[in-house]
Protein backbone atom coordinates (compact mmCIF):
# COMPACT_ATOMS: atom_id res chain seq x y z
CA UNK A 1 0.00 0.00 0.00
CA UNK A 2 1.18 3.53 -0.75
CA UNK A 3 1.92 5.34 2.52
CA UNK A 4 -0.16 8.39 1.60
CA UNK A 5 -3.28 6.18 1.33
CA UNK A 6 -3.02 4.65 4.83
CA UNK A 7 -5.53 7.16 6.29
CA UNK A 8 -8.08 5.90 3.77
CA UNK A 9 -8.32 2.45 5.41
CA UNK A 10 -8.05 3.41 9.07
CA UNK A 11 -11.23 2.75 11.03
CA UNK A 12 -11.52 4.26 14.48
CA UNK A 13 -12.75 2.30 17.53
CA UNK A 14 -15.95 4.33 17.61
CA UNK A 15 -16.64 3.55 13.99
CA UNK A 16 -16.08 -0.16 14.57
CA UNK A 17 -18.67 -0.21 17.35
CA UNK A 18 -21.32 1.93 15.67
CA UNK A 19 -20.94 1.44 11.91
CA UNK A 20 -21.73 -1.88 10.31
CA UNK A 21 -20.33 -1.30 6.82
CA UNK A 22 -17.00 0.26 5.84
CA UNK A 23 -15.84 1.32 2.37
CA UNK A 24 -12.49 2.72 1.27
CA UNK A 25 -10.25 3.09 -1.77
CA UNK A 26 -6.47 2.91 -1.80
CA UNK A 27 -3.47 2.16 -3.98
CA UNK A 28 -1.00 -0.67 -3.70
CA UNK A 29 2.35 -1.24 -5.31
CA UNK A 30 2.79 -4.80 -6.54
CA UNK A 31 6.16 -6.60 -6.39
CA UNK A 32 6.71 -5.81 -10.10
CA UNK A 33 6.35 -2.08 -9.31
CA UNK A 34 2.91 -1.62 -10.89
CA UNK A 35 0.50 0.59 -8.96
CA UNK A 36 -3.12 -0.62 -8.75
CA UNK A 37 -6.29 0.85 -7.25
CA UNK A 38 -8.35 -1.31 -4.85
CA UNK A 39 -11.63 -0.78 -3.07
CA UNK A 40 -12.34 -2.47 0.25
CA UNK A 41 -15.85 -3.27 1.46
CA UNK A 42 -16.04 -4.74 5.00
CA UNK A 43 -18.52 -5.59 7.73
CA UNK A 44 -17.92 -5.45 11.50
CA UNK A 45 -18.88 -8.64 13.38
CA UNK A 46 -19.89 -7.92 16.98
CA UNK A 47 -19.79 -10.23 19.95
CA UNK A 48 -22.67 -11.00 22.33
CA UNK A 49 -21.61 -8.07 24.46
CA UNK A 50 -21.81 -5.73 21.48
CA UNK A 51 -18.08 -5.29 21.20
CA UNK A 52 -16.42 -5.57 17.74
CA UNK A 53 -14.70 -8.92 17.22
CA UNK A 54 -13.48 -8.82 13.65
CA UNK A 55 -13.84 -7.29 10.17
CA UNK A 56 -14.98 -9.40 7.25
CA UNK A 57 -14.48 -7.84 3.81
CA UNK A 58 -13.56 -8.13 0.18
CA UNK A 59 -11.18 -6.15 -2.03
CA UNK A 60 -11.74 -5.36 -5.68
CA UNK A 61 -9.31 -4.11 -8.32
CA UNK A 62 -10.80 -0.92 -9.77
CA UNK A 63 -7.73 0.41 -11.55
CA UNK A 64 -9.41 0.63 -14.96
CA UNK A 65 -12.48 2.31 -13.53
CA UNK A 66 -10.33 4.88 -11.70
CA UNK A 67 -8.35 5.53 -14.89
CA UNK A 68 -11.58 6.11 -16.81
CA UNK A 69 -12.81 8.46 -14.10
CA UNK A 70 -9.56 10.40 -14.23
CA UNK A 71 -9.79 10.68 -18.01
CA UNK A 72 -13.37 11.88 -17.71
CA UNK A 73 -12.43 14.47 -15.11
CA UNK A 74 -9.53 15.67 -17.26
CA UNK A 75 -11.80 15.83 -20.30
CA UNK A 76 -14.38 17.86 -18.39
CA UNK A 77 -11.67 20.18 -17.08
CA UNK A 78 -10.30 20.69 -20.60
CA UNK A 79 -13.80 21.36 -21.93
CA UNK A 80 -14.48 23.94 -19.23
CA UNK A 81 -11.11 25.56 -19.92
CA UNK A 82 -11.83 25.71 -23.66
CA UNK A 83 -15.30 27.17 -23.10
CA UNK A 84 -13.89 29.72 -20.68
CA UNK A 85 -11.06 30.69 -23.02
CA UNK A 86 -13.48 31.11 -25.92
CA UNK A 87 -16.06 32.77 -23.65
CA UNK A 88 -18.71 30.37 -24.92
CA UNK A 89 -22.10 29.80 -23.39
CA UNK A 90 -23.67 26.34 -23.53
CA UNK A 91 -27.34 25.42 -23.68
CA UNK A 92 -29.78 22.58 -24.21
CA UNK A 93 -33.29 22.85 -25.65
CA UNK A 94 -35.93 20.18 -25.07
CA UNK A 95 -37.88 20.07 -28.32
CA UNK A 96 -40.86 18.33 -26.71
CA UNK A 97 -41.36 20.51 -23.63
CA UNK A 98 -39.68 23.72 -24.78
CA UNK A 99 -37.60 23.84 -21.61
CA UNK A 100 -34.04 25.08 -21.87
CA UNK A 101 -30.99 24.87 -19.68
CA UNK A 102 -28.33 27.60 -19.83
CA UNK A 103 -24.98 27.84 -18.14
CA UNK A 104 -23.80 31.03 -16.42
CA UNK A 105 -21.87 32.23 -19.48
CA UNK A 106 -25.01 32.01 -21.63
CA UNK A 107 -26.86 34.35 -19.28
CA UNK A 108 -23.84 36.67 -19.28
CA UNK A 109 -23.69 36.81 -23.08
CA UNK A 110 -27.32 37.91 -23.27
CA UNK A 111 -27.06 40.26 -20.28
CA UNK A 112 -29.85 38.43 -18.45
CA UNK A 113 -30.52 37.69 -14.80
CA UNK A 114 -29.09 34.20 -14.12
CA UNK A 115 -32.11 33.40 -11.93
CA UNK A 116 -34.56 33.94 -14.81
CA UNK A 117 -36.07 30.65 -16.04
CA UNK A 118 -34.55 29.78 -19.41
CA UNK A 119 -37.08 29.09 -22.14
CA UNK A 120 -37.65 29.84 -25.81
CA UNK A 121 -39.67 32.98 -25.11
CA UNK A 122 -36.87 34.48 -22.99
CA UNK A 123 -34.37 33.73 -25.73
CA UNK A 124 -36.55 35.15 -28.52
CA UNK A 125 -37.20 38.33 -26.51
CA UNK A 126 -33.50 39.21 -26.92
CA UNK A 127 -33.16 38.37 -30.63
CA UNK A 128 -33.35 41.33 -32.99
CA UNK A 129 -36.73 41.21 -34.79
CA UNK A 130 -35.04 41.17 -38.21
CA UNK A 131 -33.07 38.04 -37.25
CA UNK A 132 -35.86 35.78 -35.97
CA UNK A 133 -35.64 33.59 -39.06
CA UNK A 134 -31.92 33.11 -38.46
CA UNK A 135 -32.59 31.21 -35.21
CA UNK A 136 -35.44 29.03 -36.50
CA UNK A 137 -34.87 25.29 -37.02
CA UNK A 138 -35.85 23.58 -40.25
CA UNK A 139 -36.39 19.87 -40.85
CA UNK A 140 -32.94 19.80 -42.40
CA UNK A 141 -31.42 21.24 -39.22
CA UNK A 142 -32.94 18.44 -37.14
CA UNK A 143 -31.64 15.50 -39.13
CA UNK A 144 -29.01 13.23 -37.52
CA UNK A 145 -25.39 14.34 -37.91
CA UNK A 146 -26.28 17.86 -39.05
CA UNK A 147 -24.83 20.96 -37.39
CA UNK A 148 -26.84 24.16 -37.45
CA UNK A 149 -24.58 27.22 -37.74
CA UNK A 150 -25.99 30.73 -37.62
CA UNK A 151 -25.26 34.34 -36.70
CA UNK A 152 -27.78 36.76 -35.30
CA UNK A 153 -28.09 40.02 -33.41
CA UNK A 154 -29.38 40.43 -29.90
CA UNK A 155 -30.50 43.51 -28.02
CA UNK A 156 -29.38 43.27 -24.41
CA UNK A 157 -31.59 44.72 -21.65
CA UNK A 158 -29.35 47.82 -21.50
CA UNK A 159 -30.03 48.45 -25.20
CA UNK A 160 -26.61 47.33 -26.44
CA UNK A 161 -26.62 45.54 -29.80
CA UNK A 162 -24.34 42.49 -30.02
CA UNK A 163 -23.66 39.78 -32.60
CA UNK A 164 -23.92 36.15 -31.49
CA UNK A 165 -22.59 33.11 -33.37
CA UNK A 166 -24.27 29.78 -32.54
CA UNK A 167 -23.61 26.14 -33.37
CA UNK A 168 -25.87 23.27 -32.36
CA UNK A 169 -26.99 19.75 -33.25
CA UNK A 170 -30.00 17.56 -32.49
CA UNK A 171 -30.11 14.45 -30.30
CA UNK A 172 -32.58 11.73 -31.27
CA UNK A 173 -34.63 9.11 -29.45
CA UNK A 174 -34.36 5.39 -30.25
CA UNK A 175 -37.19 5.74 -32.77
CA UNK A 176 -35.33 8.51 -34.61
CA UNK A 177 -37.35 11.46 -33.31
CA UNK A 178 -35.36 14.64 -32.58
CA UNK A 179 -35.87 15.30 -28.87
CA UNK A 180 -33.19 17.76 -27.85
CA UNK A 181 -30.80 20.34 -29.23
CA UNK A 182 -27.39 20.99 -27.70
CA UNK A 183 -25.39 24.05 -28.65
CA UNK A 184 -22.86 26.72 -27.86
CA UNK A 185 -23.01 30.50 -28.36
CA UNK A 186 -20.26 33.09 -28.41
CA UNK A 187 -20.07 36.83 -28.88
CA UNK A 188 -18.73 37.66 -32.36
CA UNK A 189 -19.35 41.43 -32.28
CA UNK A 190 -15.66 42.34 -32.56
CA UNK A 191 -15.22 40.06 -35.55
CA UNK A 192 -18.26 41.60 -37.22
CA UNK A 193 -16.95 45.12 -36.61
CA UNK A 194 -13.58 44.11 -38.05
CA UNK A 195 -15.28 42.69 -41.15
CA UNK A 196 -17.25 45.89 -41.58
CA UNK A 197 -14.12 48.03 -41.23
CA UNK A 198 -12.38 45.88 -43.84
CA UNK A 199 -15.33 46.23 -46.23
CA UNK A 200 -15.32 50.00 -45.75
CA UNK A 201 -11.56 50.12 -46.28
CA UNK A 202 -11.76 48.09 -49.48
CA UNK A 203 -14.67 50.24 -50.71
CA UNK A 204 -12.71 53.40 -49.92
CA UNK A 205 -9.60 52.06 -51.66
CA UNK A 206 -11.64 51.18 -54.75
CA UNK A 207 -13.10 54.67 -54.71
CA UNK A 208 -9.65 56.20 -54.30
CA UNK A 209 -8.27 54.13 -57.16
CA UNK A 210 -11.01 55.31 -59.52
CA UNK A 211 -10.44 58.91 -58.44
CA UNK A 212 -6.69 58.55 -58.80
CA UNK A 213 -6.97 57.21 -62.35
CA UNK A 214 -9.29 60.07 -63.25
CA UNK A 215 -6.82 62.57 -61.79
CA UNK A 216 -3.88 61.00 -63.65
CA UNK A 217 -5.82 61.13 -66.91
CA UNK A 218 -6.69 64.80 -66.31
CA UNK A 219 -3.09 65.65 -65.40
CA UNK A 220 -1.79 63.97 -68.55
CA UNK A 221 -4.30 65.76 -70.78
CA UNK A 222 -3.82 69.24 -69.26
CA UNK A 223 -0.03 68.92 -69.04
CA UNK A 224 0.16 67.87 -72.70
CA UNK A 225 -1.93 70.88 -73.75
CA UNK A 226 0.38 73.31 -71.95
CA UNK A 227 3.76 71.71 -72.72
CA UNK A 228 6.06 73.23 -75.33
CA UNK A 229 7.96 70.00 -75.95
CA UNK A 230 8.10 66.33 -75.07
CA UNK A 231 10.87 67.05 -72.54
CA UNK A 232 8.76 69.78 -70.94
CA UNK A 233 5.80 67.38 -70.73
CA UNK A 234 7.93 64.62 -69.21
CA UNK A 235 9.35 66.90 -66.52
CA UNK A 236 6.02 68.48 -65.56
CA UNK A 237 4.05 65.24 -65.71
CA UNK A 238 6.64 63.33 -63.65
CA UNK A 239 6.61 66.01 -60.92
CA UNK A 240 2.83 65.91 -60.63
CA UNK A 241 2.69 62.12 -60.53
CA UNK A 242 5.37 62.14 -57.84
CA UNK A 243 3.18 64.48 -55.80
CA UNK A 244 0.38 61.92 -55.97
CA UNK A 245 2.81 59.15 -55.06
CA UNK A 246 3.90 61.02 -51.93
CA UNK A 247 0.26 61.12 -50.82
CA UNK A 248 -0.01 57.36 -51.20
CA UNK A 249 3.12 56.96 -49.07
CA UNK A 250 1.36 58.90 -46.31
CA UNK A 251 -1.72 56.68 -46.43
CA UNK A 252 -0.36 53.23 -47.22
CA UNK A 253 1.64 52.29 -44.06
CA UNK A 254 -1.41 52.02 -41.80
CA UNK A 255 -4.13 52.04 -44.48
CA UNK A 256 -5.40 55.12 -42.67
CA UNK A 257 -8.35 56.84 -44.27
CA UNK A 258 -7.33 60.39 -43.27
CA UNK A 259 -4.13 62.44 -43.33
CA UNK A 260 -3.15 65.45 -41.25
CA UNK A 261 -2.81 68.66 -43.27
CA UNK A 262 0.44 69.51 -41.48
CA UNK A 263 2.00 66.26 -42.68
CA UNK A 264 0.93 66.96 -46.23
CA UNK A 265 2.35 70.51 -46.24
CA UNK A 266 5.64 69.33 -44.71
CA UNK A 267 5.94 66.59 -47.33
CA UNK A 268 5.50 68.96 -50.27
CA UNK A 269 7.88 71.55 -48.84
CA UNK A 270 10.48 68.86 -48.28
CA UNK A 271 10.11 67.74 -51.90
CA UNK A 272 10.60 71.37 -52.99
CA UNK A 273 13.87 71.62 -51.01
CA UNK A 274 12.57 74.48 -48.88
CA UNK A 275 15.59 73.95 -46.57
CA UNK A 276 14.01 75.57 -43.53
CA UNK A 277 13.13 78.72 -45.46
CA UNK A 278 9.41 78.18 -45.01
CA UNK A 279 7.42 78.81 -41.86
CA UNK A 280 4.41 76.59 -41.24
CA UNK A 281 1.63 77.03 -38.68
CA UNK A 282 -1.84 75.70 -38.14
CA UNK A 283 -3.90 73.31 -36.03
CA UNK A 284 -4.29 69.58 -36.63
CA UNK A 285 -6.80 69.04 -39.43
CA UNK A 286 -7.79 65.61 -40.77
CA UNK A 287 -8.28 65.42 -44.53
CA UNK A 288 -10.24 62.76 -46.38
CA UNK A 289 -8.81 60.80 -49.29
CA UNK A 290 -10.20 63.10 -52.00
CA UNK A 291 -9.14 66.23 -50.11
CA UNK A 292 -5.62 64.87 -49.70
CA UNK A 293 -5.20 64.05 -53.38
CA UNK A 294 -6.49 67.40 -54.63
CA UNK A 295 -4.65 69.53 -52.08
CA UNK A 296 -1.44 67.57 -52.69
CA UNK A 297 -1.59 68.52 -56.37
CA UNK A 298 -2.36 72.15 -55.50
CA UNK A 299 0.47 72.39 -52.96
CA UNK A 300 2.81 70.74 -55.44
CA UNK A 301 2.03 73.37 -58.07
CA UNK A 302 2.55 76.17 -55.54
CA UNK A 303 5.83 74.69 -54.29
CA UNK A 304 7.10 74.05 -57.82
CA UNK A 305 6.32 77.61 -58.86
CA UNK A 306 7.98 78.96 -55.69
CA UNK A 307 11.11 76.96 -56.45
CA UNK A 308 11.27 78.02 -60.12
CA UNK A 309 10.08 81.62 -60.01
CA UNK A 310 9.03 82.59 -56.50
CA UNK A 311 10.34 82.91 -52.95
CA UNK A 312 12.40 79.73 -53.03
CA UNK A 313 14.24 80.83 -56.19
CA UNK A 314 15.94 83.81 -54.57
CA UNK A 315 18.18 84.00 -51.48
CA UNK A 316 16.07 86.68 -49.82
CA UNK A 317 12.73 85.04 -50.42
CA UNK A 318 10.41 83.98 -47.58
CA UNK A 319 7.50 81.55 -47.65
CA UNK A 320 4.73 81.33 -45.04
CA UNK A 321 2.10 78.60 -45.06
CA UNK A 322 -0.69 78.78 -42.48
CA UNK A 323 -4.22 77.53 -42.04
CA UNK A 324 -7.13 77.94 -39.66
CA UNK A 325 -10.49 76.34 -39.02
CA UNK A 326 -13.73 78.23 -38.56
CA UNK A 327 -16.34 76.40 -36.46
CA UNK A 328 -18.99 79.12 -36.47
CA UNK A 329 -21.82 78.11 -38.75
CA UNK A 330 -20.43 75.88 -41.50
CA UNK A 331 -17.05 74.38 -40.67
CA UNK A 332 -14.51 75.77 -43.11
CA UNK A 333 -10.77 75.45 -43.63
CA UNK A 334 -8.75 78.43 -44.87
CA UNK A 335 -5.20 77.86 -46.17
CA UNK A 336 -2.90 80.83 -46.79
CA UNK A 337 0.23 80.59 -49.00
CA UNK A 338 2.32 83.78 -48.92
CA UNK A 339 5.63 84.38 -50.72
CA UNK A 340 7.67 87.53 -50.10
CA UNK A 341 10.96 88.86 -51.44
CA UNK A 342 10.25 87.85 -55.03
CA UNK A 343 12.35 88.67 -58.00
CA UNK A 344 10.78 91.08 -60.49
CA UNK A 345 7.20 89.85 -60.64
CA UNK A 346 5.35 89.62 -63.94
CA UNK A 347 2.76 92.31 -64.54
CA UNK A 348 0.05 89.68 -64.91
CA UNK A 349 -0.21 86.09 -63.79
CA UNK A 350 -0.06 83.24 -66.23
CA UNK A 351 -2.81 80.74 -67.00
CA UNK A 352 -0.84 77.51 -66.76
CA UNK A 353 -1.92 74.14 -65.39
CA UNK A 354 -1.08 75.11 -61.81
CA UNK A 355 -3.38 78.10 -61.80
CA UNK A 356 -6.07 76.15 -63.63
CA UNK A 357 -5.86 73.42 -61.02
CA UNK A 358 -6.02 75.84 -58.10
CA UNK A 359 -8.84 77.98 -59.44
CA UNK A 360 -10.94 75.45 -61.34
CA UNK A 361 -9.89 71.99 -60.12
CA UNK A 362 -10.24 72.69 -56.39
CA UNK A 363 -13.54 74.45 -56.97
CA UNK A 364 -15.09 71.44 -58.73
CA UNK A 365 -13.55 68.68 -56.60
CA UNK A 366 -13.57 70.30 -53.13
CA UNK A 367 -16.13 73.06 -53.56
CA UNK A 368 -13.29 75.43 -52.67
CA UNK A 369 -12.92 79.14 -53.32
CA UNK A 370 -9.46 80.41 -54.22
CA UNK A 371 -8.12 83.95 -54.41
CA UNK A 372 -4.86 85.09 -55.95
CA UNK A 373 -2.99 88.33 -55.26
CA UNK A 374 0.29 89.42 -56.86
CA UNK A 375 2.31 92.60 -56.22
CA UNK A 376 5.87 93.66 -56.95
CA UNK A 377 7.36 91.63 -54.10
CA UNK A 378 4.56 89.43 -52.79
CA UNK A 379 2.42 86.56 -54.02
CA UNK A 380 -0.51 85.27 -52.05
CA UNK A 381 -2.88 82.34 -52.60
CA UNK A 382 -5.86 81.70 -50.30
CA UNK A 383 -7.86 78.48 -50.41
CA UNK A 384 -11.17 78.39 -48.54
CA UNK A 385 -13.07 75.08 -48.44
CA UNK A 386 -15.89 73.44 -46.45
CA UNK A 387 -15.10 70.65 -43.99
CA UNK A 388 -17.45 67.86 -42.95
CA UNK A 389 -16.52 67.97 -39.27
CA UNK A 390 -15.05 70.46 -36.76
CA UNK A 391 -11.48 70.60 -35.58
CA UNK A 392 -10.51 67.78 -33.21
Pair (278, 376) in one structural domain? yes
347 falls within a domain: yes
Distance in angstroms (rounded) separating the CA atoms of residues 352 and 229: 15
User: How many structural domains compose the chain?
Assistant: 3
Residue numbers of the domain that contains 138: 87-187
Residue 54 included in any domain? yes
pLDDT digit string (tens) for the chain, length 392 residues? 788 877 777 765 555 656 567 778 888 888 888 888 888 888 877 777 777 777 778 888 888 887 787 777 666 656 565 556 557 888 888 888 888 888 888 898 899 998 988 888 888 999 999 999 988 888 777 888 788 889 999 999 988 899 999 888 888 888 888 888 888 888 888 888 888 877 876 776 676 677 667 667 767 886 787 788 888 888 888 877 777 677 666 655 444 556 889 988 988 888 777 777 899 999 999 888 778 888 888 888 888 888 888 888 888 889 999 999 887 767 899 999 999 988 765 544 555 667 877 888 888 888 999 999 988 888 999 999 998 754 33
Strand segments, DSSP code E, in the chain are 21-29, 35-46, 52-61, 88-94, 100-102, 147-155, 161-172, 178-187, 259-260, 278-281, 286-287, 318-326, 332-340, 369-374, 378-386
Question: Within this chain, do residues 93 and 175 fall inside the same structural domain, yes or no?
Answer: yes
- The answer on 363 and 233 residing in a single domain is yes
Are 152 and 209 contained in the same domain? no
Do 227 and 291 share a domain, yes or no?
yes
Q: Is 76 part of a structural domain of the chain?
A: no
* Same-domain pairing of 180 and 224: no
In this prediction, residue 323 carries a pLDDT of: 95
* pLDDT at 371 (0 to 100): 92
Distance CA 291, CA 64 (A): 74
Residue 392 is assigned to a structural domain of this protein: no
Give the pLDDT confidence score for residue 348 in this predicted structure: 46
Kindly state whether residues 172 and 235 are assigned to the same domain: no
Instruction: For residue 81, tell me if it sits in a domain.
Output: no
The answer to whether residue 63 is domain-embedded is yes
Contacts of 190-198 with C-beta under 8 Å, sequence gap 24+, read: 191/163, 192/151, 192/163
Q: Supply the pTM of this predicted model.
A: 0.44
Same domain, 277 and 320: yes
**Which of 327, 354, 383 lies closest to 272 in space, CA to CA?**
354
Residue 209 lies in a domain: yes
Amino acid sequence: MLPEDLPNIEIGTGALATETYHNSAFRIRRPDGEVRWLTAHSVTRLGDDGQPLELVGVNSDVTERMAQQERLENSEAQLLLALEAARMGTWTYDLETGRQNWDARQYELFGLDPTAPADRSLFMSTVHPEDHLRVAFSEEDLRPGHYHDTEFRIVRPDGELRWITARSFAQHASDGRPVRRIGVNWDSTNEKLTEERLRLTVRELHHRTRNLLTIVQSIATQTAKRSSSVADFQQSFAGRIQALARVQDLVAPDTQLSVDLGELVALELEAANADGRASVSGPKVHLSGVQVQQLALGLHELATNARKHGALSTPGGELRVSWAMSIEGDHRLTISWVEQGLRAAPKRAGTGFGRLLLEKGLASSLNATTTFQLSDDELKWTIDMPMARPLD
